[in-house]
Chains A and B, each alone.
Chain A
Amino acid sequence: MLSSTLLKGNRHIVRAATSRYYFSTGPAVVFDLSGSFQTHNLETAPNETTECSKDELWNMFELMYTMRRMEITCDNEYKARNIRGFCHLYDGQEAVATGILQALDEKDSYITSYRCHCIALARGGSVKQVVAELFGFEDGMTKGKGGSMHFYNKKHNFYGGQGIVGAQVPVGAGLAFANKYNTPPGERMPVAIGCYGDGAANQGQIWEAANMASLWKLPMIFCIENNQYGMGTSIDRHSSHSDYYKMGNHIPGVRIDGMNVLAVREGMRFVKDYCASGQGPMYVEMMTYRYHGHSMSDPGTTYRNREEIAFTRSTRDPLEFVKKCLVDAEFATPDELKEAEKRIRKDVQQQVMEAKESAKPSMDSLFEDIFAKDLVSRSGSEFPPHIRMPDYAKSFWIDGKPE
């Protein structure tokens, strides 16, 4: 199903190391990205090679490995019933988030779907904050009120974390508009990237947003994370047209191998450059894969073969790819990588333990943040003087239990 040209992108050929220095991050190595990109309606294309220094590549690896460990921890915690509610895991797609975040900066608005743990982590979050939020504790990123699908970070321009499929895309168009509106003419605008899945790509509201973005030349990136399945239905069965990067019609598009973090980074640099210069929106399709099911309630095997999952894990795993790049470029030895993995594993465990020490948010926060200011209380907007629980001792009194 995937075009063979994209699979070729996984084979990177490291050319002779250059002696160029990259700011303060050490000498860079040139990586070959040929075959990682396909374009639509574009005269230019992303660079076929990219330079990456040791520090940059190590940072990417560490971030991706932290993401992977965090998602696996979430899986275990969910099965231990410490995490309740719905939980949509991102493992397998780490390269997409990491690459995008390397290419964009914090002024660029980022909005995505419910599969947002890793992006929350990368955009100014820590494992402790993410996991505490999943546990429903007040140390979490949204004070324990959002849960798995609702991570936000105002300081880092991360707009979340939305539950309804496709609903984030028109919001992203609004963010792009704000970016354009607030930038003096002629200057480069911060972009807005709206990520959604292949399953969401046929939602009506996305077409509406695309039309507006194109009409008004908004700096909007429509990023489709194509993991081949819309919940439990494969792309053959839910989309009549699965060249998502062409879906914008006259809007130019790029298809990027989403398992190659360097390709994602280089491709996104190209896309950001295009959008920030005021030429209008662009569609980006990331070819990727998710190892888990749609959510923790979905085993992920009723609609796809285990062989397919295992095959992808063994041939296209983004983490294995980054490790191979590090070793081939002589930025790391396999032992150093093992050490790093151990260290990150311990760190993630440590942060999860710290997260567990937090506590549930106080009852009053149930009614906080519904409106900007507390409006006059009506029957439904405050607790009655007390709420009886079946166990009288556990009942909740607003002003303290009477003696």
Chain B
Amino acid sequence: MKILLHSLPRRSWLTARRPLSHLTMATDPTIMSVTSSAQGMNMFQAVNDAMKIALETDPTAIVFGEDVAFGGVFRCSQGLQERFGKDRVFNTPISENGIAGFAIGYAATGGTAIGEIQFADYIYPAMDQLVNEMAKFRYRSGNQWQAGGATLRMPAGAVGHGGHYHSQSPEAYLAHTAGLTVVMPSSPKAAKGLLLASIRSKDPVIFLEPKALYRSAVESVPLGDYEVELGKARILREGSDVTLVGWGAQIQRLQKACDLAKEMDGIDCELIDLQTIVPWDAEAVEQSVLKTGKLVVSHEAPITCGFGAEVVAELQERCFWALEAPIKRVCGFDTPFPLVFEKYYLPDETRNLEAIREVVRSSR
């Protein structure tokens, strides 16, 4: 059965442009750019570029997953099979558990396995492989074997119409596992650098890509080979009144909330993008909270036992005496991710604005 050469869908209602996101092209001190030439790219193009560079520079690198051969359902792997061949870029059957285990095995021999899970909502059949095999391989073999070459990337987060099974953010389930690194970028430039760092990391990484940003987030992305350090948060906006912590697509909403707070109430917010969920940069958040005395944490995932709970617990321990007000979390509710109620469920900029105001109002 012939497979037609991949052709891009034409602009139609399906690919209607959403308004450009709130991204600014501020220089980021954590990115070391090797060349000065850059190009406007959206997130799926940035991810594609990172994988292309990984395949070019590492002869053992392979890319596999469901439907990646024709480019993937979000075009992240487009052109890769044509360029690098069928033995390096190939489709797998619908077997997430198999994909994860397969990645671990290949990585254990020293190879670089870049697996794709089609949606983060489908990670659960693979949980045993991730939690019990991938995370613990180095530990239980006394450092003889390890799965560091494995990177599993997957689209995550709300997209406007995803419903129960195309909108989840499972970072909390994965963060609870010692041995795994969980990364979630919030912009194309960071995505490319973080993905290259994740692929080359000596530890296995789960790379969650906010699917809402695939097309809508556009940024000037350097064309060369560069990495963004894992485990380091970045401060997107400096301020002295309140610290806001978030990750992924939520950063867009937090940026808007910061703007609203500044315009309407003159509140100066400091916005921190964790980038790496585990191991996370608690020092950066601590330094910020010592300065501002107030903290709001915000994420799409449900509030109970979301990763925000970890941030709050750690920060209250480190900064209790510096806090001027209780820490607030603005998150999704404890329900399955709804379809028709999505806009009420998501912690949008106005809910965050209310939280910022309350934290400032109640502070001593």
A-B contact count (CB 8 A): 148
Interfacial chain B residues near A165, Cβ < 8 Å = 94, 122
Interfacial chain B residues near A360, Cβ < 8 Å = 340
Residue with the highest number of chain A CB atoms closer than 10 Å, among B92, B333, B340: B340
Interfacial chain A residues near B332, Cβ < 8 Å = 380
Chain A, Cβ-Cβ closest to B347: A387
| Interface contact B1-A1, CB-CB below 8 Å | yes
Q: Does B82 contact A (CB under 8 A)?
A: no
Instruction: From B37-45, B161-169, B187-195, give the one contacting chain A.
Output: B161-169
Please tell me which one of the listed residues B97, B162, B350 contacts residue A389 in the complex, with CB atoms under 8 A apart: B350
Interfacial chain A residues near B163, Cβ < 8 Å = 85-86, 147, 149
Interfacial chain A residues near B13, Cβ < 8 Å = 79, 81
Instruction: From A6-14, A120-128, A247-255, A294-302, give the one contacting chain B.
Output: A294-302
| Contacts of A238-295 to chain B: CB distance below 8 A | 238-239
| Interface contact B344-A363, CB-CB below 8 Å | yes
Interfacial chain A residues near B349, Cβ < 8 Å = 390
Interfacial chain B residues near A303, Cβ < 8 Å = 3-4, 67, 70
| Interface contact B93-A238, CB-CB below 8 Å | yes
Chain A, Cβ-Cβ closest to B92: A238
Please tell me which one of the listed residues B97, B335, B341, B354 contacts residue A204 in the complex, with CB atoms under 8 A apart: B97
Interfacial chain B residues near A378, Cβ < 8 Å = 304, 334
Q: Does A388 contact B (CB under 8 A)?
A: yes
Mark each residue of chain B from 323 to 345: 1 if its CB lies under 8 Å from any CB of chain A, else 0.
00000000111111011110111
Q: How many angstroms between the C-alpha atoms of A238 and B338 in the bound complex?
A: 32
- For A, the interface residue count at a CB cutoff of 8 angstroms equals 58
Q: Does B111 contact A (CB under 8 A)?
A: no
Please tell me which one of the listed residues A1, A147, A205 contacts residue B339 in the complex, with CB atoms under 8 A apart: A147
Q: How many angstroms between the C-alpha atoms of A378 and B331 in the bound complex?
A: 13
Q: Does A379 contact B (CB under 8 A)?
A: yes
Q: Does A163 contact B (CB under 8 A)?
A: yes
Q: How many angstroms between the C-alpha atoms of A286 and B166 in the bound complex?
A: 28
Tell me, rounded to whole Å, the shortest Cβ–Cβ distance linking A59 to chain B. Answer: 33
Q: How many angstroms between the C-alpha atoms of A203 and B124 in the bound complex?
A: 13
Q: How many angstroms between the C-alpha atoms of A393 and B24 in the bound complex?
A: 30
Mark each residue of chain A from 210 to 251: 1 if its CB lies under 8 Å from any CB of chain B, else 0.
000000000000000000001111101111000000000000
| Interface contact B344-A387, CB-CB below 8 Å | yes
Given contacts A86-B163, A370-B334, A388-B353, contact A299 B9 (CB under 8 A): yes
| Interface contact B93-A366, CB-CB below 8 Å | no
Given contacts A388-B353, A390-B349, contact A237 B91 (CB under 8 A): yes
Q: Does B27 contact A (CB under 8 A)?
A: no
Tell me, rounded to whole Å, the shortest Cβ–Cβ distance linking B176 to chain A. Answer: 18
Q: Does A160 contact B (CB under 8 A)?
A: no
Given contacts A86-B166, A204-B125, contact A366 B6 (CB under 8 A): no
Q: Does A304 contact B (CB under 8 A)?
A: yes
| Interface contact B354-A388, CB-CB below 8 Å | yes
Q: Does A144 contact B (CB under 8 A)?
A: yes
Please tell me which one of the listed residues B94, B343, B345 contacts residue A200 in the complex, with CB atoms under 8 A apart: B94
Q: How many angstroms between the C-alpha atoms of A167 and B13 in the bound complex?
A: 32
Q: Does B95 contact A (CB under 8 A)?
A: yes
Q: Does B362 contact A (CB under 8 A)?
A: no
| Interface contact B304-A380, CB-CB below 8 Å | yes
Interfacial chain A residues near B162, Cβ < 8 Å = 85-86
Interfacial chain A residues near B69, Cβ < 8 Å = 233
Q: Does A145 contact B (CB under 8 A)?
A: yes
Chain B, Cβ-Cβ closest to A234: B1
| Interface contact A204-B348, CB-CB below 8 Å | no
Q: Does A115 contact B (CB under 8 A)?
A: no
Please tell me which one of the listed residues A205, A236, A298, A380 contacts residue B125 in the complex, with CB atoms under 8 A apart: A205
Query: Could you show 25 A-B contacts with beta carbons less than 8 Å apart?
Result: A85-B162, A144-B340, A149-B164, A150-B164, A163-B164, A202-B94, A202-B95, A202-B98, A203-B95, A203-B125, A230-B94, A231-B67, A232-B70, A237-B91, A238-B91, A238-B92, A304-B1, A304-B4, A366-B335, A366-B338, A370-B334, A379-B304, A380-B302, A380-B303, A382-B333
Which 8 pairs from chain A and chain B are nearest by CB? A380-B334, A163-B165, A84-B161, A380-B303, A136-B340, A388-B350, A232-B67, A238-B93
Known: A145-B339, A298-B73. 7 other contacts (CB 8 A): A1-B1, A204-B97, A230-B66, A233-B91, A237-B91, A302-B71, A382-B333
